[in-house]
C-alpha cells in the first residue's frame, strides 16, 4: 500500500517522486582531494519513496564514454579529472537520467558501517584468496572482508564478476538493515555516514528517506541491472568497454520504471 503524500511530506519528502542518486565508491580517506583518484564503484540508484522499491544500475568502470566535450575515456577517470560533478555530467549525458543527489563513500567508511551493522551474511560463489578466510557458501563477513569481497577482480569475468558481487552484497546488506531496531540503529548509522560519506543530501533528508524506505520492509523490491559494453583494445593499449548503446537505452528505461 502506497503512503499518503501528506505523510511523506511530514517526513521531509515534500515531493514523493522517485529520487535518483549517483553513488561512488573511492579509495580515499576523509579530507583527501579527489584529484588523481579514480572511482572504484559507480552506481545509479533510483528510490521510489511511495513504495520503498529500489532500482540499481551499475556502471562498469571501464565503460568508454565522453567524460567531457571532445574527450572520451573510461568513466572511472571522470572522478580523477573533475570529481563527482564531471562523473555526474558524463552519466547524465549518456543515460539521460537527471541525477538528484550524489554520495561518495570512502572504503574506510564502508568497513566501519558494515562493522556497526554487526557484519553481513552473503552467499559466496567464487574461489577467493585463502588469506581472506572467506570460503564458499553462506558466509558472515565483517567490514574488512566485505570490502575485499566487493573489490575483488581476479576472476574470469573481471570487473563484471565484481559488479555481480557488489549487487549481491547490497541485497544482503538491505536484508540485514531490515532486521534492525530502526529507532535505535538508523540515527547511529546516519551519524557514521556523515563522517565517511560526502553527499549533498542533508542528514535530515537521509534519515527521512531511509525511514520511508525501511517502513515498507520486505514488501518492497530491489532490482539490479548493469550497463553493457563490448571489450576493446584501443590503439594505445588501453582495455575498455565500448558501450552497447541500443541495449543500454533499454536498460535505462527499465531502471527508470517502477518494479512490477
Q: How far apart, in whole angstroms, are the C-alpha atoms of residue 69 and residue 3? A: 42
Predicted confidence (pLDDT) per residue in 49-83, tens digit: 888 899 999 999 999 999 999 999 999 999 999 99
The percentage of the chain sitting over the pLDDT mark of 90, rounded to a whole number, equals: 56
The CATH number covering residue 128 comes to 3.40.630.190
Task: Categorize the per-residue pLDDT at 167 as very low, low, confident or very high, splitting at 50, 70 and 90.
Answer: very high
Q: Determine how many CB atoms are found less than 10 A away from the CB of residue 166.
A: 20
* DSSP summary character for residue 217: G
| Helix (H) / strand (E) containing 118 | none
CA-based angle 217:222:228, to the nearest 5? 170
Write down the pTM of the prediction: 0.85
Q: How many domains does the chain have?
A: 1
With contact defined as beta carbons under 8 Å apart, do 110 and 146 qualify? yes
| Whole-number Å distance between alpha carbons of 213 and 88 | 24
Residue 205 DSSP class: H
| pLDDT for the residue 235 | 94
Domain extent at residue 69: 5-256
- CB-based burial, 75-112: b 16+ in 10 Å, e otherwise: bbbbbbbbbbebbbbbbeebbebebebbbbbbbbbbbb
CA 9 to chain centre: 26
Cβ 79 vs Cβ 26: under 8 Å: yes
> What's the pLDDT tens digit per position in 101-153?
999 998 888 998 898 888 999 999 988 999 999 999 999 999 999 999 999 98
Instruction: Quote the CA–CA distance of 79 and 39 in Å, as a whole number.
Output: 6
Residue 196's pLDDT band (cuts 50, 70, 90)? confident
Neighbours of 176 (CB within 10 A): 16
Helix (H, G, I), strand (E, B) or coil at 166: helix
**Do the beta carbons of residue 244 and residue 230 sit within 8 Å?**
yes
Amino acid at each position: 500500500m502506497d503512503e499518503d503524500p501528506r505523510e511523506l511530506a511530514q517526513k521531509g519528502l515534500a515531493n514523493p517522486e522517485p529520487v535518483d542518486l549517483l553513488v561512488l565508491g573511492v579509495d580515499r580517506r576523509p579530507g583527501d582531494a579527489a584529484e588523481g583518484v579514480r572511482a572504484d564503484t559507480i552506481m545509479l540508484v533510483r528510490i521510489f519513496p511511495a513504495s520503498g522499491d529500489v532500482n540499481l544500475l551499475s556502471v562498469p568502470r571501464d565503460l568508454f564514454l565522453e567524460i567531457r566535450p571532445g574527450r572520451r575515456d573510461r568513466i572511472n577517470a571522470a572522478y580523477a579529472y573533475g570529481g563527482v560533478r564531471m562523473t555526474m555530467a558524463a552519466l547524465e549525458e549518456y543515460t539521460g537520467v537527471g541525477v538528484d543527489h550524489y554520495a561518495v563513500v570512502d572504503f574506510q567508511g564502508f568497513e566501519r558501517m558494515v562493522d556497526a551493522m554487526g557484519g553481513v551474511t552473503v552467499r559466496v560463489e567464487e574461489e577467493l584468496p585463502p588469506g581472506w578466510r572467506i570460503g564458499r557458501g553462506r558466509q558472515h563477513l565483517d567490514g574488512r572482508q566485505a570490502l575485499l569481497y566487493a573489490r575483488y577482480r581476479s576472476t574470469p569475468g573481471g570487473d563484471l564478476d565484481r559488479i555481480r558481487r557488489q549487487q549481491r552484497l547490497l541485497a544482503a546488506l538491505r536484508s540485514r538493515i531490515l532486521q534492525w531496531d530502526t529507532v535505535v540503529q538508523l540515527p547511529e548509522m546516519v551519524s557514521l555516514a556523515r563522517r565517511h560519506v560526502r553527499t549533498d543530501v542533508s542528514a535530515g533528508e537521509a534519515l527521512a528517506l531511509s525511514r520511508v524506505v525501511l517502513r515498507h520492509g520486505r514488501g518492497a523490491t530491489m532490482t539490479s541491472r548493469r550497463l553493457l559494453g563490448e571489450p576493446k583494445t584501443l590503439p594505445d593499449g588501453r582495455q575498455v568497454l565500448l558501450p552497447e548503446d541500443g541495449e543500454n537505452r533499454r536498460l535505462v528505461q527499465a531502471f527508470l520504471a517502477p518494479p512490477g
